Structure 1
């Protein structure tokens, strides 16, 4: 009887633990098989291909929606062959584009005008939800690679983002194709035959070639126009309705007010028709991460963080951007993000990421390589370490456009160094002299060396000193165990 009771209690505890874990992360059954593995907790590997054509593709990895993620976002990867077009569309989600490799031309509607921006490797640009846009790979021989944050908070369905194609035929279908033929004839002031031909020509998918025999002549001819003509032919977006008079709505509508009829007339209508000139349209410039002086640099790497104070368009999505490069064997010191969840994409190299639960136990220790996507919840301590064979570069987004100011736990400018005193020593149960010797042993800050990765290979005596300090640090930390942070039960 006693054994049965013990077994029953064990099963109840086990079931409760699994239920609580799934509630904490809040994943579906398909994701749970991946998430339950210790090395997968904070790696996002649910990659789905949402667009695939001969001209390019788009893949998306989605975030988990749970209590530990304050601002879930998806990460998109767009690849386009040379001389291709991502046809005009708008999304129900905001995008922040990062040009990973190549050169692109972005056209989109801003304050009811078309603007075009030339984007190069390292550029960041934001497209608000609902703003019509198109992308062109202007490279003659180079693929275009783009990484994008996708904010699903404004989307029609939870965790889903939806494209609405403006141009299109049978694949993809234009949003206009669903209207009755007589409605379109009146709206376009064109014959039914012209309308039918217009909405049946495109069959190559959302990403198309623009200079090959099988390319749709509509897009080819349009892109071959002079820039002034192309701007004129796509400058206006929306119907005949008057703009709302309420001034308090003006700021929001500056970014999303369109004119369907005028857009379609400008793209597909009479090329020789003259329109009233309203200016060329201006929008914020792009921001290049590689052109910016690093916020931090030492012999072991550098980092750049971009927020709304540096680039005002980020404020509209309340998302920040960062870029880090670690030399071989270097470590981003253990730290905490106090106001944001961090999403990261490995751009190059190999390494390791370690994340710690609030109770001081290891949440994840995983090898990372190019193409991997990870996230670290707000308040969780973590660090990234480059392999000894080469540098590690990673880029990402944070869920706040305010200055994040990460709190480093170890290093010359760390919390422990700043708080050093009898109170800190008492919290470890050690003499102040002992704790000070450990806390002040590291002379570098933010990005730290490991002994074998130090410039010049490091001196043997220095390695021994570091090794002894590491052993003493481990001994002190083990003494406090899980009593360090246990959280509060508010029930």
Structure 2
């Protein structure tokens, strides 16, 4: 009996020692949470796992106490449910001539994002002279052409093929179920397209349906029996099988002759404006910017500019923030904003009241104490209102989400301009309200309201609010490239 007693005392003393370092260490908290969630572990294995987490946390602090602030900054980025790095976009289609990548389902990242689970973000890349095979999606889509030019064809019903040229800055609406195919007719430049997808079947579940194809992608016609296909196409089985044997992929290379022929037929067919602009596109960059200064420009288009956006209630915008500048803290009254970084580097900071609550929810999810949890949250909110700082580095190919009402600031690095393509849902009647700058909403407070709110004379408040004379875009904080410390994750240490 002596051996178990000594072991128990050792474990207890080790636990108390580790707890004394910092009970609020968020990385330690999550590591222990992961230990408890491992169903294949016995209770003794779960305790051992937690002890390993505490041991690593203790060694980390003893080795370099100054690192705590930097580790906390790194941790903010890792637990950020609103940020998605380039690896979060998963390949749905890939060949040597291009690819289509789609962001993971939002509910895979966090239950906080269930309210937008029917939306997905995507990026398409087509190499010069590449052709994307005809297919349709079970989703409404809005495209924004980031770079390049091409010809887009949309088949909606019998004898109704809409063909039009697309180029940088174009916005295109594609209705769910429409068969689409396109070609990059440039000899040198890639065609890049960003898109937002609103699924129409199962929320967040996206499916591509290729009518033609070989092994990859496989034509959905191959799912039907030979008898059905022979009767439907009035063609023998042997002839049909020849059409389904190639393995070129969903994006293939077209010849010069094929490209010229398709461009010629596109110019001859489809619905077009008398002056050559497609009736189904709107070029955002041809519109005058809604905000412009030496620190940045903002272009945006809603249903008033492009009628096809109306039923989706979506706005599309492009922001170009000058290197070293920033977009002042602001929030949207109704819209949630999805932003994809298409150029430059920088970071964003956002105030969020939900993140810590989500962690507590995760720890108690297995007990199913929903009513108790909601009661505790209400009581917590009544006691104290607080916010978590959300911060992440931004680079080409990454994306982030700004929910409605969440104040956010976006900063460009000093090296180059930070460029963002943004899709905003619930755009109708939305207002973008800035907290700082020439048009700060706080300036609208009455004298008495300013004195009561800031506990200072209104004159001092006015002086403080009036110091920043720039509107929306302004000089950012001094930029320094933050170096990430090459330490192993605490979760790796614990065996995950």
Normalised to the residue count of structure 2, the TM-score between the two structures is 0.69
1:385 paired to 2:425: no
Alignment partner for residue 92 of structure 1, among 138, 147, 154?
Answer: 138
How far apart are residue 387 of structure 1 and its match?
1.9
1: CA distance, partners of 2:302 / 2:205: 26
1:204 paired to 2:259: no
CA RMSD of aligned residues (A): 3.5
Look up the match of 2:44: none
Alignment partner for residue 39 of structure 1, among 57, 72, 77?
Answer: 77
* 1:331-342 equivalences in 2 (<5 Å): 331-342=326-337
* Aligned residues of 1:314 and 1:401 also touching (Cα < 8 A): no
What secondary structure sits across from 2:116 in the alignment?
Answer: coil
What secondary structure sits across from 1:177 in the alignment?
Answer: helix
Alignment partner for residue 446 of structure 1, among 456, 460, 472?
Answer: 472
1:147 paired to 2:185: no
What secondary structure sits across from 1:190 in the alignment?
Answer: coil
Look up the match of 1:129: 176
How far apart are residue 356 of structure 1 and its match?
0.7
How far apart are residue 404 of structure 1 and its match?
2.9
Pick closer, same or farther for the CA change 1:335–1:174 going to 2, 3 Å: same
Look up the match of 1:165: 210
How far apart are residue 403 of structure 1 and its match?
5.0
2: CA distance, partners of 1:185 / 1:394: 50
2: CA distance, partners of 1:346 / 1:296: 19
1: CA distance, partners of 2:341 / 2:242: 45
How far apart are residue 362 of structure 1 and its match?
3.9
Look up the match of 2:400: 374
2: CA distance, partners of 1:225 / 1:388: 46
How far apart are residue 390 of structure 1 and its match?
2.7
1:324 paired to 2:319: yes
* Aligned residues of 1:70 and 1:378 also touching (Cα < 8 A): no
Alignment gaps of 5+ in structure 2: 1-12, 35-72, 273-277, 354-384, 480-496
Alignment partner for residue 76 of structure 1, among 122, 129, 144?
Answer: 122
Pick closer, same or farther for the CA change 1:357–1:280 going to 2, 3 Å: closer
What secondary structure sits across from 1:37 in the alignment?
Answer: helix
Alignment partner for residue 225 of structure 2, among 174, 180, 186?
Answer: 180
How far apart are residue 11 of structure 1 and its match?
9.5
2: CA distance, partners of 1:181 / 1:364: 56
* Aligned residues of 1:331 and 1:449 also touching (Cα < 8 A): yes
Which deviates the most, 100-109 or 140-149?
140-149
Look up the match of 1:456: none
Pick closer, same or farther for the CA change 1:360–1:90 going to 2, 3 Å: same
Look up the match of 2:99: 57
Alignment partner for residue 436 of structure 2, among 397, 401, 410?
Answer: 410
Look up the match of 1:260: none
* Aligned residues of 2:151 and 2:266 also touching (Cα < 8 A): no
* 1:204-243 equivalences in 2 (<5 Å): 204-211=248-255, 225=261
Normalised to the residue count of structure 1, the TM-score between the two structures is 0.70
Look up the match of 1:194: 239
- CA deviations 1:423-466 (Å, max 9, x no partner) are 1321222222222221122222211224879xxxxxxxxxxxxx
How far apart are residue 37 of structure 1 and its match?
3.3
What secondary structure sits across from 2:303 in the alignment?
Answer: coil
* Aligned residues of 2:136 and 2:210 also touching (Cα < 8 A): yes
How far apart are residue 355 of structure 1 and its match?
0.4
1:432 paired to 2:458: yes
Look up the match of 1:29: none
Structure with larger RCO (C-alpha < 8 A, sep 6+): 2
What secondary structure sits across from 1:194 in the alignment?
Answer: helix
1:48 paired to 2:90: yes
Pick closer, same or farther for the CA change 1:363–1:450 going to 2, 3 Å: closer
* Aligned residues of 2:335 and 2:427 also touching (Cα < 8 A): no
How many residues were matched structurally? 382
What secondary structure sits across from 2:215 in the alignment?
Answer: coil
What secondary structure sits across from 1:427 in the alignment?
Answer: helix
Pick closer, same or farther for the CA change 1:173–1:425 going to 2, 3 Å: same
How far apart are residue 67 of structure 1 and its match?
3.8
- CA deviations 1:217-263 (Å, max 9, x no partner) are xxx86x6646676899xxxxxxxxxxxxxxxxxxxxxxxxxxxxxxx
Pick closer, same or farther for the CA change 1:97–1:451 going to 2, 3 Å: closer
Look up the match of 1:262: none
1:423 paired to 2:449: yes
Which has the larger share of helix?
Answer: 2
How far apart are residue 285 of structure 1 and its match?
2.8
How far apart are residue 388 of structure 1 and its match?
2.4
* Aligned residues of 2:136 and 2:176 also touching (Cα < 8 A): yes
* Aligned residues of 2:447 and 2:458 also touching (Cα < 8 A): yes
